[in-house]
Every structure is written in structure tokens, then in C-alpha cells.
Amino acid sequence: MAGARVVVAMSGGVDSSVAAALLRDAGYDVVGVSMLLAAQPATSVRAGQGCCSLEDFRDARRVAKRLGIAYYVWNLAEPFRTRVVDVFTTEYLRGRTPSPCVLCNHEIKFNELWRRAGALGAELVATGHYARIARGADGGAHLLRARDAAKDQSYFLFGLSQAQLARTRFPLGELTKADVRAVARCLGLDVANKPESQEICFVPNRDYAGFIERRASAGEIRPGTVVGADGRMLAAHGGIHRFTIGQRRGLGLGGGAARYVTGIDAASGTVRVGARAELASREFLVERVHWLAAPVDRASVRIRHRHAPAPARLVQRAGDAVEVWFEKPASAVTPGQAAVFYCGDEVVGGGWIAAVQPAAPLAAARPTAPVPGKQVAGARARAQAALAPSAEG
């Protein structure tokens, strides 16, 4: 579909900037769009805090000008507030730990991007996500993990529909981060060495508790007690929103052996703590499951972004619920987080962890960094090759 108009979500970072450049070089008619997600853009956000600062918009505009593409800013503050920030607040007040980046990708970056792209005459949308889309023998679009396992972002995208996948492009799916920075430097983009966003963009200084307390009414805050595995009270606390499964610091318990949050009872305000071994779980329930492919009864399941997918059995339950049984127990399976199902590299579905059955302990390890080489030519070639198969789609 070279020549087709594509709307590219541009955050002002290096990834989305290079995505726009690669699409332009592949012959697409590129339109850059930044999304204003805060009621007022931040003027003094730390590097790495997140997106949506005035500096990010300036960077995106400078990149668009250098690439010679049209550029717009869309005000999405209201849908972002209701569909992401309000849900984030409510989930913490329920004793759950939300995944705002998953919600944002589904509800804002794709649903809103698609809803508005038509007004610009676009047939396609694209982002700087590290993920791949392949066309199957059945003609359907398949979401795959990125070639670079260390940067893979497929976990955040399980909510996409077949229709969205078919008309979406991920130009960075075949590249490493080093490749992307090398391409940006070759193009003379100022953002080539810009730090990555590492934090939730709407929570200042990572103070989740303070953020929620400023938004919640007094009646919504649920104070209670911290209890040990034997049920004995260890301390009082000011609200369950201050805790998450697996948390070790800030428990207010003084010294002694390390203790972790192993359970949160929202109704009573009780926070249960115990040894690390008590965080292990083998069985949990996933609700609001969305399938991108035909449902399966075995898959590798990822329970958070940095979790290595682990083999599991999937049992269909009433409605859109699935019971997951890991072959080996996993640590800190957390209600409110997304569980994503993989068959090989393909994302076949996912949903939201609702309830967890405790089990016994376990352990884990990490991937190697890419080795730099002749990156620019190779990176461009791999990205263009990935874009080429969709020429008929």
C-alpha cells in the first residue's frame, strides 16, 4: 500500500520519530499526530518521566518539519481521564494493581487514533511500538512479538481487533533499540539520544498513593490493618491503595525478616504479608478475555510486561473468563494486571487477572544486549522488508 496515507502517533521520542521516517521512505503519505493526554501539558517533567510535556510536542513538531510531513496535536484529555486515569484510581481503591499503559494503548492510542484517522483521509495508522504483524495463510493479521526480545511491547497490544491489526503498521518490529538510534542519527534527528520514558506519565514523581488520595473522596479511602500469615495484626495502615502484591518496601513494619504483600482484602481493608515463598501461585482466573486468534487450551502466559512467558493450561469458563494453570508456580500474580497468551511468538489473546489461588515457591533469568554492527543499512533493510508484505493488504 505504498502511497497510502498513514497517521503516525508521534510522542516526541526516538521510536515514533524513526517509525514516521521509515514509513515516509517506504513511500507512504505520512501524517504525524501527537496526543495531548493531560488537561494541561506538563512544563517541567523530568527526563524519562513520560510523554505529554511541552518539550515532547516541540520535539515531535521539529521531527515532522525535518521529515517534511504534516503534523497535528489532538486533545484527548477527556477520554484519557475517563478511560485510563479514572480506572487507574478506582482499581487501586479496590485493592487491585492496574495496567494503565495497556488501557492507554487500547482505549486511546488505537481506538481514538482509529476513530479520528478517517478525518485526515488515512487508510492506515502506525506507532513506534516494538511488535510485528504478519499476514497468515488464512488472510488474517497476526500479532507477533518484536524481533528484539528486550524491547518487545506486544504485551500491551492484546486488546487490538482483527480489523485494527489489518490496517496497522509497526515499522520497528524487526529492529533493536540500537538500530533505531543509529537510523535517527543518520537522519540528523535531534531526538536520536533522547532518554526513554520509564514512568507513568500522569503520576508525578511516582507518588501513586498521593495521586490517588488527591482524586478520591474521604469515603473511598479504605484504612485497615496489616496482618501476618497467621492472621496476627502487625500494624495499622492508611489505605489499601498504598499496597500492591509483591511489595516489600513501605510496609511500616520496622526491621526483621523480609516480608512481602501476599494479599489484599478490599472489603475489610486487610493487607496480608508473608515470606517471599508465599507469593507463588499456580492457578488464577482471567476475565474479559479478548482473543486475537482461535482460542487455545495451552499457551505461554505473561503476567506482566517484564515477565518471561511461562507454559500454562487454559480452561474456558463461563462468558469471557479463562482459568490459567501454570506448569510451575509464578511469583506475584497480581489482580488488576493483564495476562497475555502466546503461542510461540504470536499473541493469541489476553485479559485481566481477577483472582489468584496461592501455591508454593519458584525462581528466574534475563536476555542479552544486541551487538552493534552496520546498523543503519541493516536496520532500514529489515524495516522495509517488514513493511513490504503488506503492500497488497
SS3 state of residue 189: coil
Catalytic residue among 51, 52, 101, 201, which? 201
Q: Rounded CA gap, 332 and 58, in Å?
A: 40
DSSP one-letter string for 107-172: IIIIHHHHHHHGGGT-SEEE---SEEEEE-TTS-EEEEE-SSTTT--GGGGTT--HHHHHTEE-TT
Q: What angle do CA 329, 355, 100 make, to 5 degrees?
A: 100
Contact between residue 359 and residue 312 where contact means Cβ atoms under 8 Å apart: no
**Alpha helix positions (H), 167-223:** 177-186, 208-215
Distances (CA, A) of 127 to 20, 107, 160, 191, 221: 8, 15, 13, 16, 38
- DSSP 8-state symbol, 53: B
Picking from 32, 12, 383, the residue whose alpha carbon sits closest to that of residue 190 is 12
Q: Look at the block and give the residue holding cell 511488535.
A: 131
Active site residue 104: yes
Distance CA 214, CA 18 (A): 38
Of the listed 51, 101, 104, 186, which one is catalytic? 104
- Start-end of H helices in 195-341: 208-215
User: Is the C-alpha dihedral spanning 170, 171, 172, 175 positive or negative?
Assistant: positive
Contact status, residue 352 vs residue 287, Cβ threshold 8 Å? yes
CA 132 to each of CA 143, 155, 195, 371: distance values in angstroms, whole numbers, following the listed order? 6, 12, 23, 21
Catalytic (active site) residue 343: no
Q: Which grid coordinates are listed for 27?
A: 513511500
Which residues are within 8 A (CB) of 31 and not within 5 positions of it... i.e. 6 or more apart? 5, 6, 7, 8, 69, 70, 71, 72, 120, 122
The type of residue at 308 is A
Beta partners for 29?
5
Residues with catalytic function: 104, 201
